[in-house]
Amino acid sequence: MPRAVVFDLDYTLAVPQRDRTTILEEATAATGAPSLTRESYLEAHRRNLTSETREPIFADLLADSESDTDPAAVATAYRETIAEALEPLPGVEAMLADLRGEYRVGLLTNGPVRAQRDKLETLGWEDAFDAALVTGELEAGKPDPRAFEAITGELGVDPADAVYVGDEVEADIRGATEAGMRAIQVLLADGPDPDPRAVAHVEQADVATAVPDVLADLE
C-alpha cells in the first residue's frame, strides 16, 4: 500500500484555457520581442530548470536575435498571461483533499520558482499539499533522481512507498521509476503513447476519479 502520492502540476492537475503557443505569442507581442516557437521555448526551458524566474529562458532564446527586448519583461508577461489562463482539471481539488486523508500528498513540478509558485497562488493551492517543491529551488530538475528524492524526503517516505503522477514520459515516468517510485501516466489527447514503465495509465479528463482508484488497488 503506498504511503504517499506526488503529482506533477502542468497538464496533470491544471491546464491553461488557451494553448501555450498562443500564450507565448501574446507575451512576445506585448513586449515587442521577436516571434518564438513553442519548440524552441521548451528546449530552453529544459536547459534552465533550476532558476528563480523565466528570465534565463528568454535570455537564452533572445541571445541570437537582434532584439533589445528585456528578457525579464518577456518572462513577466508570459508568467502573467499563463496565470490568467490557468484552471484546475475537473474534480482535482476535491481529490487532493480526499487523498490527504489516506496518504501524504506532494507536488513536484519542473520550472522557475516564481513562475510555478505564482501558479499555485493563482489556483489557491498554497496549502493543498503536505509538501510542494519547484525544481527552481533544487539542485536539479526532473528526471534527475535528486528532484524525486527531495520530495520524498519532504514527505518523510521511502521512494518505494510513493507513487508519482505525471504526463511526461522522460521527466515524469522515467524520472520517477529510476528514482525507485511507481508511476501513473496521465495520457493527453495529443501526447505520447502509454509507457510500459508506468503501473497505470489514466486519461487527463479522468485524473480526479481514476487516480484514487489506481492507488487503492496498489499493494
Nearest to 159 by CA among 91, 99, 108: 108
- Cα atoms in the 13 Å half-sphere on the side-chain side of 32: 6
C-alpha 40/C-alpha 5 separation (Å) is 32
Q: Which residues of the chain have pLDDT under 50?
A: none
C-alpha 115/C-alpha 86 separation (Å) is 12
Q: Which three cell numbers stand for residue 87?
A: 484552471
- For residue range 104-125, what is the model confidence (pLDDT) as tens digits? 999 999 989 988 999 999 999 9
Looking at residue 84, its pLDDT comes to 83
Place of cell 503513447: 193
Q: How far apart are the first and last CA of the chain?
A: 4
Nearest to 214 by CA among 198, 193, 192: 198
Domain ranges of the chain: 4-15+87-217, 20-85
C-alpha 190/C-alpha 7 separation (Å) is 20
Looking at residue 219, its pLDDT comes to 77
Sign of CA dihedral 147, 96, 19, 118: negative
Asked if CATH classification 3.40.50.1000 holds for the domain at 4-15+87-217, the reply, yes or no, is: yes
C-alpha 90/C-alpha 218 separation (Å) is 24
Q: Amino acid identity of 7?
A: F
- For residue range 59-79, what is the model confidence (pLDDT) as tens digits? 999 997 888 999 999 999 998
Looking at residue 82, its pLDDT comes to 87
Looking at residue 20, its pLDDT comes to 86
For the entire predicted model, the pTM comes to 0.88
Q: Amino acid identity of 200?
A: A
Strands across the sheet with 131-134, in order? 131-134, 104-109, 4-7, 162-166, 182-187, 200-203
Looking at residue 209, its pLDDT comes to 98
Looking at residue 51, its pLDDT comes to 85
Query: Nearest 10 degrees: CA dihedral of 133, 140, 19, 125?
Result: 0
What's the length of the chain?
219
| Residue 209 near residue 92 (C-beta atoms within 8 A) | no
Sign of CA dihedral 41, 198, 217, 148: negative
- Cα atoms in the 13 Å half-sphere on the side-chain side of 83: 18
Looking at residue 65, its pLDDT comes to 85
